[in-house]
Amino acid sequence: MLETESIKRNPMFVYLVVLTISSTVGLQTWTTLFNNFAVDVAELGGNHVGMIQSIREIPGFLALLAVFVIRFVREHRLSAVSILVLGAGLATTGFFPSYTGIAVTTLVSSFGFHYYETTNMSLTLQYFKKHESPWVFGKLTSLAAATSIGIGLLIWVMMSFLSFSQVYLVVGGLIAAAGLWALTRDPSDPRALPQRKQMILRKRYWLFYFLTFMAGARRQIFIAFSVLLLVQKFNYSVQEVTILFVINNSINYFLSPLVGKSIIRFGERNVLSLEYLSVIFIFSAYATTDSKLLVAFIYILDQIFFTFAIAIRTYFQKVGDPQDIAPSMAVGFTINHLAAVFLPAIGGMLWVIDYRIPFFAGAAMGFISLIAVQKIRTAKD
């Protein structure tokens, strides 16, 4: 029986809730303001914007270095420092309206965001039992969805009477304050197993590595090409895309905890099988539909099924050595970002030939992933 009230009383849960909300505020603020700030204020061109987007992915690719950082800094402290760095990078962005300035502040903010995401996954798996962690992941995702809507509305209001630099400073300052608050807290449990503090690659974890890479590839196809399809082929306006964004996050607020409970009840193999069956349908539909209404429905489904990927992490919790959690989550986060290095560029070239090719490739990846998840073996599966 899942006792959610006892989970909520866990000091680590409160700690992660505050920092996850802060991380989401930072990411959403950067995403919302970046293009307008870069083009309207810094007067950057498409080549500069594209390069900065690539720079933003570097810290995700270097997430494995967190394994070496926790030799000197306790993991929950690294979470707090990461949020502090994220806030500081965001707060100073508005003062450097140039290519170099935005590139540097983006890199700083991104290190904060990606290193928090790495430690967040690790701490959740360490401090919550195997039948609790799926619900915790789902709840944190739910709160992140609600936060995305809230900060989006707040920025919309703030931009009506504040400048870019002032909005960056206010929001970044609040995030940094949350990081400072977290530095004054110690939610750790002295009974927790110490984590290995070196990079670990084990042959028996191959399925976790593979599914993590495929999840990253699927995500890159969604990020790079789904909205492009909406705008380029179906002529969606900014307002229409924003409405879809609000619908997605509203649904995920209510649905994410249920996904966590489904993993507990039905097991990782069944949940991931449903996800990848859906991915085959979703990407095939992207490539073949001519309906503006249907493509919106597909886009919403695509976003919903992202949440199911938490089953990859909880699968590792069930089959991995408990002392391997921290280094394996760091390595996994890097593997997840490998696709970000080359997939958008390759997909972009294929898009020019025929926009359907990246989506059919995504459907093929979904089929391969569906076959792979049948190898999952846990007590529940």
- Structure confidence by residue, pLDDT tens digits, 181-194: 999 999 998 888 88
- Tens of pLDDT, residue by residue over 127-161, are 999 999 999 999 999 999 999 999 989 998 999 99
End residue of a domain, out of 161, 187, 213: 187
Asked if residue 193 belongs to a domain, the reply is no
Residue type for 279, please?
Answer: V
End residue of a domain, out of 165, 187, 209: 187
Say which DSSP state 307 is in.
G
DSSP letters along 186-225, please?
Answer: ----TTSPPPP-S----GGGHHHHHHHHHHHHHHHHIIII
Q: How wide is the angle at C-alpha 184 spanned by C-alphas 181 and 188, nearest 5°?
A: 110
pLDDT of residue 378: 74
Asked if residue 350 belongs to a domain, the reply is yes
The answer on 282 and 372 residing in a single domain is yes
Q: What does residue 284 show for φ and ψ, rounded to 5 degrees?
A: -65, -40
Asked if residue 333 belongs to a domain, the reply is yes
The answer on 14 and 126 residing in a single domain is yes
Asked if residue 194 belongs to a domain, the reply is no
Q: What is the largest CA-CA distance in the chain?
A: 58
381 — pLDDT class (breaks 50, 70, 90): low
pLDDT of residue 1: 59
End residue of a domain, out of 132, 166, 187: 187
The answer on 243 and 281 residing in a single domain is yes
Q: Which long-range contacts (CB under 8 A, 24 or more apart) does 281-286 make?
A: 282/366, 283/221, 283/359, 283/360, 283/362, 283/363, 283/366, 284/359, 284/360, 284/363, 286/225, 286/226, 286/229, 286/359, 286/362
The answer on 164 and 289 residing in a single domain is no
36 — pLDDT class (breaks 50, 70, 90): confident
Average pLDDT, the chain: 91
User: What b/e string do you get for 34-61 counting C-beta neighbours within 10 Å, with b at 16 or more?
Assistant: beebbeebbebeeebbeebbeebbbbbb
In Å, what is the CA distance from 121 to each residue of 124, 262, 275, 313?
Answer: 5, 19, 20, 8
Asked if residue 236 belongs to a domain, the reply is yes
The answer on 137 and 243 residing in a single domain is no
Say which DSSP state 309 is in.
G
pLDDT of residue 238: 65
Asked if residue 192 belongs to a domain, the reply is no
For residue 223, pLDDT over 90 is answered with no
Asked if residue 316 belongs to a domain, the reply is yes
The answer on 212 and 112 residing in a single domain is no
In Å, what is the CA distance from 4 to each residue of 8, 133, 199, 257, 319?
Answer: 6, 11, 34, 11, 24
pLDDT of residue 380: 60
Cα-Cα end-to-end distance for the chain: 18
Total domain count, the chain: 2
Residue 295 CA, distance from chain mean position: 23
The answer on 182 and 216 residing in a single domain is no
The answer on 134 and 223 residing in a single domain is no
CATH of the domain at 239: 1.20.1250.20
Q: Look up the domain containing 349 and give its range.
A: 200-381
Asked if residue 195 belongs to a domain, the reply is no
Contact 66, 8 (CB under 8 A): no
Q: Give the integer Cα–Cα distance in Å for 261 and 356.
A: 35
pLDDT (mean) for 55-63: 87
Region of 366 on the Ramachandran plot (φ > 0 left; ψ -120 to 50 alpha; else beta): alpha
Which range, of 33-42, 82-91, 258-267, 316-325, averages the lowest pLDDT?
Answer: 33-42
Q: How wide is the angle at C-alpha 236 spanned by C-alphas 37 and 286, nearest 5°?
A: 115
For residue 379, pLDDT over 80 is answered with no
The answer on 260 and 125 residing in a single domain is no
- Tens of pLDDT, residue by residue over 269-319, are 999 999 999 999 999 999 999 999 999 999 999 988 989 999 999 999 999
The answer on 225 and 349 residing in a single domain is yes
Which range, of 19-23, 58-62, 84-88, 375-379, averages the lowest pLDDT?
Answer: 375-379
pLDDT (mean) for 220-233: 84
The answer on 179 and 63 residing in a single domain is yes
The answer on 237 and 118 residing in a single domain is no
DSSP letters along 140-195, please?
Answer: HHHHHHHHHHHHHHHHHHHTTTS-HHHHHHHHHHHHHHHHHHHHT-----TTSPPP
Contact 117, 144 (CB under 8 A): no
